[in-house]
Amino acid sequence: MKDPQKKRAYDRARYKANSKKIIASVGAYQKANPEKVRKVKLKILLKFRAAWLEIIKLRGMDKCALCGYNRNFMVIEFHHKNPKEKEANVSRLMEQRPTPKRLVELDKCMALCANCHRELHHPQREDIE
């Protein structure tokens, strides 16, 4: 089929009619080929992360908004400016395909290095010393 819409409709109808059989078949394949499945999942995960990193760099969120730390992106964390608006954890979203809804969640955050993030959540208390 050359028409993508017709093919999509055909595929949906085929899946709907045979969903139990297809799900069982996929499950059997995954069980029989765990190494192949792991490699494919890793490849997809790396593709999503690369897309997220590009978006984060374009938005200037690849460094700490408070101190400017930018030596290692792995220590950058995303702090929700208003915790009441938080719908998802951005680090978990980076394991999924970037979508407009997920980008909105990123916009609710500011990038902070681990130290600045900890200090923001747990300011130094005088009564501890």
pLDDT-above-70 percentage for the chain: 96
**Residues 58-88: tens digit of each pLDDT:** 999 999 999 999 999 899 999 999 989 999 8
**Residues 10-50: tens digit of each pLDDT:** 999 999 999 999 999 999 999 999 999 999 999 999 999 99
**Residues 82-111: tens digit of each pLDDT:** 989 999 888 888 899 999 999 999 999 999
What is the DSSP code (8-state) at residue 95?
T
Torsional class of 111: left (φ above 0), alpha (ψ -120 to 50), beta (otherwise): beta
Distance CA 5, CA 7 (A): 5
Gyration radius of the chain's alpha carbons = 21
User: Where along the chain do its domains lie?
Assistant: 33-128
What is the DSSP code (8-state) at residue 73?
G
Token pair belonging to 31: 């069980």
Average pLDDT of the chain to the nearest whole number = 91
Distance CA 102, CA 98 (A): 6
pLDDT score for 62: 93
